[in-house]
Copies of this chain bind each other. A is one copy, B any other.
Amino acid sequence: MTTDHRSCDELSPIRIRLEELHRRYQAFHEGTVATYIPELAHANPDWFAICLATTDGFIYEVGDFAQPFTIQSISKPFVYGLALEDNGRNALLTKVGVEPSGDAFNAISLHKTNGRPLNPMINAGAIATTGQVRASSPTERFERIRACIGRFAGRPLEVDVGVYESESRTGHRNRAIGHLLRNFDVLTDDPMADVEVYFRQCAISVTCRDLAVMAATLANHGLNPMTGERAISGDHVECVLSVMASCGMYDYAGGWIYHVGMPAKSGVAGGVLAVLPGQLGIGVFSPRLDDHGNSARAIRVCEELSRLWDLHQFDPPPGAHHAMRLAYTAADHGSTRSRSAAERACLRRHGEGIRVVELQGSLMFSSTERIVRDLSNRELPSFLVIDCHHVTEVNAAAAALLFELADRFAARGTTVLLTHATHLAPLEAAFRRHESRSPAESRLRFSTTDDALEWCEDAVLEKAMPSPPPRTLDRLADHGLVRGLTATQVERLAAIMKPMIVRRGDRLVTAGDEAASIILLIRGLASAWNPIPGGRDRRLATFTAGAMVGEMAFAEESPRSATVIAESDVECLVLQRSDFDSLRDTDPGIHAVVWRNIACAIADKLRKANHDLGVYDHAPLSRG
């Protein structure tokens, strides 16, 4: 059925375990096939399937996973979800409660005074819920239910007419419930029409594979991971899972939570689905039922799976660790913008005031609480850059906490910037709001931390160096390339160099080209960019007056490794290889000193790269 997934099957320890489990419980014959709906008695008691679906849309399936059977009570939580969408939480609560009854599935557990069924998982509550699905006719009501369950399963579903007719012929107790609900005005129209819709809904035909996908859709906040279609609003999923947890397994609800620990629902045709929220869905199908009306094999299989893979929801791995991946200041690790010696010295002095925190993983209350606590407990920096490159998701609570933190820090004079967060909608929205409240309405969101660091450094320099050093290098004599040469030697070198002007946006050098020259920046700004696979280019460095461009490829006689683009109009001096080589014989002393200076320029970059590698090499900071 899913041949595209088979490639990994034979090595997958997960599939192998599921097959072992299936083999082992194939020999387990306890329980009896349900007969109270006569048609169900025709099921083959040996049918047996186990399926597991992940929230990224992968399915493990063993046994009779494509065998159709009727959904029965497993329809109840999904119809409850649809009724929630149609009525809202509070209105629906006035019609159907959410308390476990402690009674069997077919008990008529109505509230003593108002006739409200105790919960939507017992038959009375389910029939009342079906009646709340908005429709102008019973046919429309049923079709909306069928479409909704089909969105969960990811395919159109049909009714097993034989089972429907059999249940309709014999469902006197449910008809009695319908009339009682009408008596208490819980149902308001023709109660027998609602009961018929209910019978039809229970006779919808599904497979074990469908159950796993339906469960995974609940685990995935209502978004079907196979089709990408939304089956139900994510806001209602926690309500659906809550009634499954407290009332989903008839009068075995407490035992199920105790031994398995996942919200679940079973049906008398032998299906069980279980949901590990945020993670996965499980479907098991086998028709023999135990005394509580739950599939006997499914109960055992789910208990073993929960134990085997630690799926019990009350025994989760800690979720609060390691949200802080890295913390450093611009004194440790500045932007790639090249700076003059005076500027570098200034940033070494003041760089501690620019603090960067790299977050990672899933930001929710508990992980974000530690970040917020850590940041609030330190001396406030002048600038705080929050880098979300490695954050995989943010919920509303975490976004709100970071927003509040930014606002409070701003009130104390700390500028908070957000970077690499375009994939995190709630956080982007929060910071747009934060920007609009900042005094200067300045931009506080940057694509990259490098950009943000450059912006902060510029601000620090502007404040700390009111009369900044000239951004122009007027004399070649001030350039690192000629360090150690005599004035006469500098003049001789100058004589063979050629001025060049590059307009803003044009290229100084192009990656892959032959490295026939070294370029000295005299005025203006230029940036080197490296293409990175599958993404935007990565800025390697920004050069200002005094910088040397292209010396590495020049020395190695290898192609240019990066493209350098003028960010303003740029004035340069160009030393061509042929001219430089001509010095070898005429002026070998100049030649040697210039080569040494080239070696030093490359060494300077290597030192910075090694430093950055050291920063990355740290373990995450917040280990509990």
Contact = CB atoms under 8 A, between A and B. Distances in A.
Given A612-B613, A617-B532, A372 B12 contact: yes
Nearest to A562: B610
Contact of A315 (B8, B102, B257, B277): B277
A13 B595 contact: no
Contact of A308 (B376, B397, B604, B613): B397
A435 interface: no
B263 A242 contact: no
Interface string A597-624: 0111011111101101110111110011
Interface stretch (A23-31, A191-199, A402-410, A565-573): A402-410
A68 interface: no
Given A317-B395, A555-B603, 16 more contacts: A12-B376, A13-B372, A54-B370, A97-B255, A237-B315, A242-B261, A246-B254, A278-B317, A317-B362, A322-B392, A392-B620, A392-B623, A556-B604, A592-B592, A595-B595, A609-B613
A55 B241 contact: no
B598 A97 contact: no
B610 A314 contact: no
Nearest to A555: B599
A313 B238 CA distance: 8
A175 interface: no
A618 to B, nearest CB: 8
A377 interface: yes
Contacts of A276: 366
A561 B561 CA distance: 26
Contact of A309 (B252, B397, B613): B397
Interface string A316-333: 111111100000000000
A158 B377 CA distance: 35
Nearest to A320: B279
B310 A313 contact: no
Contact of A598 (B308, B314, B599): B599
B409 A11 contact: yes
16 contacts: A14-B373, A55-B320, A99-B252, A101-B102, A119-B254, A237-B314, A309-B365, A321-B392, A360-B360, A389-B619, A532-B618, A561-B607, A588-B591, A595-B595, A609-B613, A616-B616
The 9 closest A-B pairs by CB, nearest first: A588-B588, A595-B595, A13-B404, A8-B376, A609-B609, A102-B102, A241-B314, A279-B366, A99-B254
Interface string A232-255: 001001110111011100011111
A322 B11 contact: no
A556 B607 CA distance: 11
Interface in A299-318: 308-318
A540 interface: yes
Contacts of A99: 102, 251-255
B257 A361 contact: no
Contacts of A190: none
Contacts of A538: 614, 617
A58 interface: yes
A476 interface: no
Given A12-B373, A258-B246, A321 B362 contact: yes
A533 to B, nearest CB: 8
B614 A613 contact: no
A343 interface: no
Interface in A472-492: none
B277 A314 contact: yes
B310 A397 contact: yes
Contact of A98 (B14, B258, B311, B317): B258
Nearest to A614: B532
Contacts of A243: 254, 258
A278 B393 contact: no
Interface centre among A253, A317, A412 (most CB of B within 10 A): A317
A253 B119 CA distance: 12
Contact of A254 (B98, B220, B317, B596): B98
B12 A607 contact: no
A451 interface: no
B238 A314 contact: yes
